[in-house]
Homo-oligomer: A and B are copies of this chain.
């Protein structure tokens, strides 16, 4: 099957574009009418580096590639808009494989109210997915950067930590997971294979006055450090306050790691960490708007660096990795 036939099959599957899109897939470029300001992020995942085809379905691989891009828009507090996808297809991946990948991307796009406005198909030795996402706001000030945290601000975290890392352990050492109830293990696998971008939470936090925000893709420790450095502040996080996903202690034990260490350095949770002024803050009300639990996990302090304080007063190494991923 040639490029244009496969592209035609792909285009048949695309739903009607959203109202911002004036020319969708099929011209030299997509034409959109953006909001007063746009947030744009690019990412790529490559077989053998970011995923293995045996471990996840093509549908999950496609959906996760888009979800991780959309998570960056969530961290800006953006209104979701458009996505553009370049699929690098190895020769042995048949037409059905390409369409299964696409179905995963389209399901994630629909869930996030995002239009796939363009893309391309290219040959590649390894399966790869490059994703560009564009979100909108009425003005640049409507977005939340990493750099506005101020001493005294409260640190809020969406959802739970460690689930994705525990899910990876469950994938790698399935036979040892018998100690964990099946429903819990399934949920950990979902956290690893089908992450959900916190778009509504990002918009709710932005509307409530968040001063800085980042998504937890590299682990809480590493991403907290990025936020602290960008804002020129320090962060003090209380380990006892961190919400760990069910099954994390058991999965950590199987891997010979501490549950807190796994939860703060494991990565891929795609939760949001935000700083927000303490005055007038109603966390429960904000969590209802966000559609996901929000937990107060610490505060912004003068200085620099990130400290995760254990209940006995000692500090945990905040972790995070500094390698190409």
Contact = CB atoms under 8 A, between A and B. Distances in A.
Interface of A: 2-6, 22-23, 26-34, 36-46, 48-50, 72-73, 75-76, 78, 82, 84-86, 88-89, 117-126, 128, 130, 132-135, 140, 143, 145-147, 213-215, 230, 322-325
A38 B46 contact: no
Given A29-B72, A122-B325, A215-B28, A22 B37 contact: yes
Given A42-B120, A44-B130, 8 more contacts: A3-B324, A6-B324, A27-B145, A29-B133, A30-B39, A31-B37, A48-B125, A49-B125
Contacts of A84: 40-42, 132
B28 A214 contact: yes
6 contacts: A28-B146, A40-B132, A42-B132, A44-B86, A46-B124, A123-B325
Given A28-B215, A72-B29, A147-B27, A2 B324 contact: yes
Given A49-B122, A145-B27, A324-B6, A32 B37 contact: yes
B42 A33 contact: no
A3 B324 CA distance: 4
A105 to B, nearest CB: 13
Contacts of A215: 28
A76 B42 contact: no
A42 B86 contact: yes
A132 B131 CA distance: 9
Given A36-B33, A146-B28, A46 B134 contact: no
Contacts of A120: 42-44
A2 B147 contact: no
A323 B84 CA distance: 21
A124 to B, nearest CB: 5
Give the 6 A-B residue pairs with the shortest CB-CB distance, closest first: A2-B322, A130-B130, A29-B39, A29-B41, A28-B75, A22-B140
A321 to B, nearest CB: 8
Contacts of A130: 42, 44, 86, 130
